[in-house]
């Protein structure tokens, strides 16, 4: 007699999307699904037998940063695993900087306060397990149907992302959803299983993206580079050297930024990868600043150039 498969437990590797230059159209014999691409914080929710755990894209457990979503996930059946994106709405638009404030809450009291001030929504785009059964080998179309049946009775803040198989409607979404901060679409094949790696596709309007500053490389008020977190990821990366214009913008902003706490010892600074894959130590700062960046893949690591400080134009 075959024993039942073990439940899906954190950490799990997540599926990713590769950028494409234009909106893909259905190929002969293969239907496509189109979903809005929310720039938030990637989050896998595990409803375990007696608790809820939440995992970021990197595998870090971040449950205590989102007490509102933890409470919302408790009615899910034990053995449920959701994949999706945390977003925070402000003024009718998604606000990536607010999401990062939530994700980097350092204490339970700060997390609880931010949950009241910046309530999170969870845009679920996949169902990896249900009632202890691993659904990842199933086609996306079947996983999507089960996701909808699971979440529809619950309602916000846990919601399935919109999805269409109509290329014309997808094109309309692509042009119109920028008004609410959605800069692109993710495209999936209806018949594909959930696979680790860049098997999904994504198309975006802008060549640039917003990133949150989580640290500086070099002197705090005159940094050479920045440690940044991009949408959908929580692993910091180091930017290319800053231009004089950006340094001038940052000089005032960093001076006015409150210290997040005592700095760690010089030999205990966290590290992030730079554009050639070298680990660089950086000094953490409060995640209060947002910058516009451009990424260009010249090697296996993308060069991330800071264009300007948001709010500092």
> Based on the number of CB atoms within 10 Å of its own CB, is 84 exposed (0-12), middle (13-18) or buried (19 or more)?
buried
Distance of CA 107 to the CA centre of its chain: 21
202 in catalytic set = no
Chain length of the chain: 313
Tokens linked to 60: 């870090």
Whole-number Å distance between alpha carbons of 46 and 165: 28
Report the DSSP pairing between strands 197-204 and 15-19: parallel
Could you say which of 37, 101, 188, 202 is catalytic? 37
Residue pair 237/230 in contact by the 8 Å Cβ criterion: yes
How many other β-carbons are positioned within 10 Å of the β-carbon of residue 171? 14
- Measured at the CA of 60, the angle between CA 182 and CA 196, to 5 degrees, comes to 65
Catalytic residues, by residue number, are: 37
């Amino acid at each position: 007699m075959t024993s039942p498969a073990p439940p899906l437990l954190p950490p799990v590797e997540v599926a990713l999307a590769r950028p494409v230059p234009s909106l893909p159209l259905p190929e002969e014999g293969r239907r496509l699904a189109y979903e809005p691409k929310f720039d938030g914080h990637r989050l896998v929710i595990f409803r375990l037998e007696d608790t809820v755990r939440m995992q970021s894209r990197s595998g870090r457990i971040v449950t205590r940063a989102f007490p509102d979503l933890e409470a919302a996930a408790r009615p899910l059946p034990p053995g449920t695993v959701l994949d999706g994106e945390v977003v925070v709405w402000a003024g009718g638009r998604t606000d990536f900087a607010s999401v990062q404030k939530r994700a980097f809450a350092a204490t339970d009291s700060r997390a609880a306060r931010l949950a009241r001030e910046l309530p999170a929504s969870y845009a679920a785009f996949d169902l990896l397990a249900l009632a202890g059964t691993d659904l990842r080998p199933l086609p996306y179309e079947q996983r999507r149907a089960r996701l909808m049946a699971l979440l529809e009775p619950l309602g916000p803040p846990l919601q399935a992302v919109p999805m269409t198989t109509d290329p014309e409607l997808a094109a309309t979404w692509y042009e119109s959803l920028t008004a609410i901060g959605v800069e692109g679409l993710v495209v999936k094949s209806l018949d594909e299983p959930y696979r680790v790696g860049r098997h999904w596709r994504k198309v975006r309007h802008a060549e640039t993206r917003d990133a949150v500053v989580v640290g500086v490389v070099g002197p705090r008020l005159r940094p050479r580079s920045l440690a940044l977190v991009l949408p959908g990821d929580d692993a910091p990366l180091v930017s290319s050297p800053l231009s004089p214009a950006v340094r001038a913008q940052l000089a005032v902003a960093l001076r006015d930024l409150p210290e997040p706490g005592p700095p760690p010892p010089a030999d205990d600074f966290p590290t992030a990868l730079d554009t050639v894959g070298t680990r660089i130590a950086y000094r953490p700062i409060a995640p209060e600043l947002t910058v516009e960046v451009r990424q260009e893949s010249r090697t296996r690591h993308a060069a991330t150039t800071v264009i300007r400080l948001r709010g500092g134009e």
